[in-house]
Amino acid sequence: MCGIVGYVGTREAYPVLVKGLHRLEYRGYDSAGVALISDGGELKIYKSRGKVAELERFAESKDVSGNIGIAHTRWATHGEPSDANAHPHYSESRTLAIIHNGIIENYSVLKKALEVNGYTFRSDTDTEVIVQLIEYIRDVSGCSLPEAVRQALRELVGAYAIAIIEKGDRGRIIAARKSSPLVVGVGEGEFFLASDAGPIAEYTDRVVYLGDGEIAEISLEAGLRVVDVAGNETPIDIEQLQMSISELEKGGYPHFMLKEIFEQPKTIVDAVRGRINVEETNVALSGVTDNRERFVEARRIIIVACGTSWHAALIGEYMIEEMCRIPVEVEYASEFRYRDPVTGPGDVVIAMSQSGETADTLAAVELARSRGAFIFGICNVVGSSIARATDSGAYIHVGPEIGVASTKAFTGQVTVLMMLALAIGRLKGSIREEFYLDGIRHLCRLPEQMAEILGRADAVADLAKIFTYARNFIYLGRGYSYPAALEGALKLKEISYIHAEGYPAAEMKHGPIALVDSEMPVVVIATTDRIYEKTISNIREIKARGGRIIAIVDTDDVTVREIADHVIEIPRTCEHLAPVLASVPLQLLAYYIAVYKGRDVDQPRNLAKSVTVE
């Protein structure tokens, strides 16, 4: 999952491209590069291993003039992070330059065939094969560049978003996508290209989301033309972008992750806006209301997701089964898509994805659709591939999430799932009116309760100092809090690189309790719920083995604080929403430990924000 940027117009391209790369760096930061065509028509590529800042240092002494260019920030799949494997890549004759986000599965077969025809390769990437193939087709057939691109794309198996520029042509970029996202920004006498709208928003709010299998010929002379791989023209749908620049900035916070954690009181308000009436007596999701039969008569609901979204989905399973009495299965999208699952008409498949671009989740959607299931999307990024691949859905409206570790999206997803369960439960008549109204009341109190928790962030920072040494952590929860324990463990793993595992608390005695000793910090979500007493017994079992307990408790808790070594208080809410509140101090704990360990919190090693490859 790399980041792609392109520009053609009257401005100097280089500063636009570099700024765009910084906006997309959360997609991958193994290497970065830029290709420019100078006023004299010369094609130049500058690239280097490491972050965009490395590229800027490298290009400082170079000629970066020109009004057209493409740029790339990489998350390595084929070929280790290195200068040679960095994008862009030249064609054999060095007259074409290409950047690519995705994976070409049949690249080695094509590479061998091209080598037989005398083409040489300077990198280990699958990407270089694409530009060499385009040049080969043009060389043997004498066809135009757009035609050669179309023919080459027909040979490729896999996922791609590509952009190509040609030596001597200072007015045209050719771009194409299949599975990987690509957006074109339409300006006054200029065009922008990017993997998502972030790099485009400050220049224009007119965008075209390229569809799967579409090729864009972006030309200053002829304007924007979109065709399919057969060359048939496809209509252009220019959409208005709803994104402010301030949402893309850190706003004075040291990290996007901390900003996004502190945004949650506001993002929960945004998630429920227009869905709960002022009297707090009704919750309505238009995607449910418009398709009520699908939900009321649903034989089963299957939720497909990855990572943090999968944790939110688990909480959704508990909510929907309890409130709607519909059987729910939660599936890792990467497993669902390959295990020949039983699904079809009568099933509602919910696709949970913050980015809306996760390849495994997108493929799971396409599989379920092909078998006749009704697809409902719960996404954050407007206009994303998954959002556009569903029959209906609900956006979580938490704004751009730039920190690689998902935070506000998780609490937004659980909030939307709660509204979904209440709405379906009401339609089905499977919940009592009092329970329904109570659920709405608790939803509406979340923002102030979160603000209260954030007001005590310093206490969590102090606690983090104590445990920064830890080599392992265990996170425990029961019922609705079990998935929140999984999520807490994931946050710590992905940004502090400390090994951490989440478990249902009662599972400990079936093995994992062997891990417990005086060195092992054990975080337990012990808020008041139907199994509170059981959780207390589990805490006592851990204490008996010398474990160090950090307990998340309700403000008015008495019992747990007598047993635990450390407590973090959160306001009381219903057990269904306790995971939303409990996850805030867990996000902060992971954040501060990672900061004290000097980790790159927003761009942790080996990760990227949206996983657009398998």
- Bridge partners, 188 (sequence order): none
Which of 44, 167, 178, 609 is flagged as catalytic? 609
Q: From the CB of 387, what's the least distance to ligand AGP, in Å?
A: 11
DSSP string, 288-309: HHTTHHHHHT-SEEEEEE-HHH
**What is the spatial distance between Cα 446 and Cα 443, in angstroms, rounded to a whole number?**
5
Q: Which amino acid makes up residue 221?
A: E
Residue 355 in the binding site for ligand AGP (CB under 6 A): yes
Name the nearest CA neighbour of 596 among 493, 488, 465, 499.
Answer: 465
Round to the nearest angstrom and report the end-to-end CA distance of the chain.
10
Name the nearest CA neighbour of 351 among 368, 372, 338, 339.
Answer: 368
Tell me how crowded residue 530 is: count the other CB atoms within 10 A of its CB. 10
Q: Which is nearer to ligand AGP, 404 or 443 (CB)?
A: 404
Kindly identify the residues of this chain, within the stretch 491-520, that bind ligand AGP according to CB under 6 A. Answer: 494
Of the listed pieces 100-108, 305-313, 416-424, 508-516, which binds ligand AGP according to CB under 6 A? 305-313
Q: From the CB of 353, what's the least distance to ligand AGP, in Å?
A: 3
Residue 586 in the binding site for ligand AGP (CB under 6 A): no
Q: Write down the residue that tokens 């060195």 correspond to.
A: 519
Question: Which letter does DSSP use for residue 276 in this model?
Answer: B
Q: From the CB of 527, what's the least distance to ligand AGP, in Å?
A: 23
Token couple for 318: 């508990």
Active site residue 19: no
Of the listed pieces 104-112, 171-179, 265-273, 355-363, which binds ligand AGP according to CB under 6 A? 355-363
Q: Which is nearer to ligand AGP, 264 or 308 (CB)?
A: 308
Residue 602 in the binding site for ligand AGP (CB under 6 A): no
Q: Write down the residue that tokens 């696709």 correspond to.
A: 351
Kindly identify the residues of this chain, within the stretch 399-428, that bind ligand AGP according to CB under 6 A. Answer: 404-406
- Nearest-CB residue for ligand AGP: 307
Helix (H) or strand (E) holding 146: helix 145-155
Of the listed pieces 352-360, 417-425, 505-513, 529-537, which binds ligand AGP according to CB under 6 A? 352-360
Kindly identify the residues of this chain, within the stretch 476-495, that bind ligand AGP according to CB under 6 A. Answer: 494
Q: Is the dihedral of CA 537, 538, 542, 543 positive or negative?
A: negative
Task: Identify the residue among 264, 361, 411, 603 touching ligand AGP (CB under 6 A).
Answer: 361
Token couple for 438: 């109570």
Active site residue 444: no
Task: Identify the residue among 132, 151, 264, 354 touching ligand AGP (CB under 6 A).
Answer: 354
Of the listed pieces 2-10, 63-71, 285-293, 349-357, which binds ligand AGP according to CB under 6 A? 349-357
Q: Count of residues binding ligand AGP (CB under 6 A)?
A: 15
Task: Identify the residue among 306, 440, 474, 574 touching ligand AGP (CB under 6 A).
Answer: 306
Burial class of residue 19 (count of CB atoms within 10 Å of its CB; 0-12, 13-18, 19+): middle
Task: Identify the residue among 132, 264, 353, 603 touching ligand AGP (CB under 6 A).
Answer: 353
Q: From the CB of 105, what's the least distance to ligand AGP, in Å?
A: 21
**What is the spatial distance between Cα 103 and Cα 6, in angstroms, rounded to a whole number?**
20
Task: Identify the residue among 307, 521, 571, 579 touching ligand AGP (CB under 6 A).
Answer: 307
Token couple for 534: 């059981």
CA distances (Å), origin 377, targets 298, 357, 386: 16, 12, 7
DSSP string, 104-144: ETTHHHHHHHHHHTT---SSS-SHHHHHHHHHHHHHHH---
Residues making contact with ligand AGP (CB under 6 A):
306-309, 353-355, 358, 361, 404-406, 494, 610-611
* Active site amino acids: 2, 609
